[in-house]
Amino acid sequence: MGESTDPAVSSDGRYGARLSFQLPTAIAHRHSGPHSMTTFRSLLATLFTSTLLMTTSLSIDTAHAADLPQPPDAAKKPHAVKAPHGATRNDDYYWLRDDTRKNPQMLAYLNAENAYADAVMKPLRPRQDQIYQEIVARIKQDDSSVPFRERGYWYYTRFETGKDYPIHARRKDLMTAPEEVLLDVNTMAEGKEYFSVGDYEVSQDNQVMAWAEDDVGRRQYTIRFRNLVTGDVYDDVVKGVSPNLVWADDNRTLFYVENDPETLLTVRVKKHVLGTPASQDELVYEEHDDSFYMGVSRTRDDQYICIGVSSTVSDEMRCAPAANPVDFAVLAPRERDVEYDADHHGGRWVIRTNAPDANGTPAKNFKIVTAPTGSTSRKDWKDWIAARDDVYIDGFELFDTFTAIAERSEGLERVRVLKPDGASEFVKADEPAYSMGLAVNAEPDTEWLRYSYTSMTTPNTTYELNTKTGERKLLKQDPVPGYDASLYVTERLWATARDGTKIPVSLVYKKGFRKDGTAALLQYGYGSYGASMDPGFNNGVVSLLDRGMVYAIAHIRGGEEMGRAWYENGKLFKKQNTFTDFIDVTDFLVKEGYAAKDRVAAHGGSAGGLLMGAISNMAPDRYHVILTEVPFVDVVTTMLDPSIPLTTNEYDEWGNPEKKEYYDYMLSYSPYDNLKAQAYPAMFVGTGLWDSQVQYYEPAKYVAKLRDVDTSGHTVIFRTNMDAGHGGKSGRFRRHKERAEMYAFMLDQLGVK
């Protein structure tokens, strides 16, 4: 999961799930969704794109093989993994798991793999450095975000030349006013291998700030406080929390979510009063069902503080007045297969839900209903915007004079503006494949709607649309020095899967590309949690496009690009659709001449790493090289262990292998369990020692076993970042070094100069 400055957009991923990205930066987190409660399901995904030039140069598999040391050989130590129903499997590499991260033998193996990776990559270091320099050259170093106004202040984030981390700042009333630096993350990160500010919140009177920081990468955050008038940092410190903070109206009480120290699950909402010890923090709510995630938020009108809990198939919200947040009333009791999230504005609740109608028919693609302020039952809900089979309602944002609705149809996003009289219109897009969504709209008393737009050729762009006059303003397009969008082409295609389903495919290449079946291709996929991989601009991939590659995103089942059914048909007992869709897209692109059949690379991370492991077992001959980051590859063993973070929350995504029918199905595709004696593609496998989403030992075990059975002789690199977690290195430049190394390996394997 790596936070990126140039991602394609992912939505509807579960909070904390095995997604290939980090939580957004502080400002993005504070206003990250179409409305406040979508922070549970809306995250950014790091996507990857590419295009390359043919050459006859030899890869490291042949040119440098004689110079390379032998890859590490991990010791085998038989271990029985037992299931409650009696099934037993032997795991020779189970010993690589060490929850303390201190086992000398385990660390020696990881270090040996890193040393081997260094040796393999040594002759490719000039290319890696070149790619890194290209990526960095396309980053405007003294850049800043589009300011947004909230309670009389303009908030923004800026970067300074040569520095890795952001500076969060504000100005009072006007952008010409003196700057107040809230957080200089560069100073805070000095001397640390990893550092991240996950969230910050300013009190309602604008005078006190709380922020959550992590200096390990395991996403166990620490809250600290600063007086913005005097600049003094308070002595108050709260540890072991998630990055999710909300102030009460008294400007002294902060609500936060405490994590379980072992599973890292969000288990308790507490409130901290400034000037008191954290040990005295009052418990507000505790969730006893460990299949639910939890978060806190404020409603659009600032009238309520809400606690939201969310599982794969159910939600529940309880809210209390922000002026006196003592008694939290349940908006609607949880019910299996009923999801909802709500916001309050204009004297009523507005709720996005899949709840069934009076006849028991569920709104699979979601609908929007309303309820009176005092409602505590679904009986009070009244339909406002009906569900449709061909349109998926992704979210909404409430304003005084209109409502903005984020929707999906035909695999693409769109924003619809709904007026009080019922009239509506869509925000227009100019390209066949794009990503569009609601941007930061911090205050509701405006006629202007901010929205974001990007495509595989168009850098991230923020527009402001006057919903009354139709006037549109370009607020900012991310500057990309040296990049000319007119030199690139994006397409939208439909591949036919083996069961006849049409799979949307987004792709990009440089002008002059010939569809003659000789090019190299990088194909990306994810396909889990209902996370939609939307086509957006990626700075890093331009270096691949300029070398002649085609880059494609396969919008496979398991995501939500085509609506809720798209997700339902790619999970649990239909999970195999995700893998076969990806393979079928590859076959389609090769058949249509977008790539040579022996020059295809595949890329996926986290749950997308599960995808990479599955296709490597099922169709190794289709791919010349596989790039997989923090891969979730030991599905059955992990899901049998409720002490591992995320396990219990995800029974409705993968199944509970304590039940024999789920065990057998999951075992049929689990990448680690299905490794066998056959020729595998070359691979680059990356992980982080402190990863909390996918523990480091999953890819470590996978690579150790792969080395035992692979008959191909192809190079396998296993790179462990010893100082980071699921998102890799922190900082806007350092992470690109990891990406450059992976790309250099891929280019070499594909014979691209």
Q: What are the catalytic residues?
A: 606, 691, 726
Q: How far apart are CA 596 and CA 751, in angstroms?
A: 12
**Beta 448-454 vs 435-438: how paired, if at all?**
antiparallel
Letter string b/e over residues 282-316, b meaning 16 or more CB atoms within 10 A of that residue's CB: eebbebeebbbbbbbbbbbeebbbbbbbbbbbbbb
> How big is the CA angle at 478 (ends 477 and 479), to the nearest 5 degrees?
105
Q: How far apart are CA 330 and CA 107, in angstroms?
A: 48
**Beta 221-227 vs 502-510: how paired, if at all?**
unpaired
Could you say which DSSP state residue 420 is in? T
**Beta 502-510 vs 488-496: how paired, if at all?**
antiparallel
Q: How far apart are CA 9 and CA 34, in angstroms?
A: 14
Beta strands per DSSP E along 159-232 = 167-172, 179-184, 196-202, 208-214, 221-227
Q: How far apart are CA 15 and CA 683, in angstroms?
A: 29
> How big is the CA angle at 504 (ends 425 and 457), to the nearest 5 degrees?
70
Give the number of other Cβ atoms within 10 Å of residue 382's Cβ: 10
Residue type, 621: D
Letter string b/e over residues 201-232, b meaning 16 or more CB atoms within 10 A of that residue's CB: bbbbebebbbbbbbbbbbbbbebbbbebeeee
Q: How far apart are CA 268 and CA 288, in angstroms?
A: 9
Cβ partners under 8 Å of residue 191, min gap 6: none
Contact 531, 624 (CB under 8 A): no
**């680690």: which residue's tokens?**
672
Q: How far apart are CA 639 and CA 670, in angstroms?
A: 11
Q: For the chain, what's the residue count?
A: 753
Beta strands per DSSP E along 53-135 = 80-82, 88-90
Task: State the burial class of residue 141 (Cβ atoms within 10 Å of its Cβ: 0-12, 13-18, 19+).
Answer: middle
Nearest to 503 by CA among 495, 514, 512: 495
- H or E element: which one contains 708? helix 697-709
Q: How far apart are CA 650 and CA 311, in angstroms?
A: 8
User: Maximum CA pair distance of the chain?
Assistant: 75
Q: How far apart are CA 204 and CA 588, in angstroms?
A: 55
Name the phi and psi angles at 56, rounded to 5: -100, 15
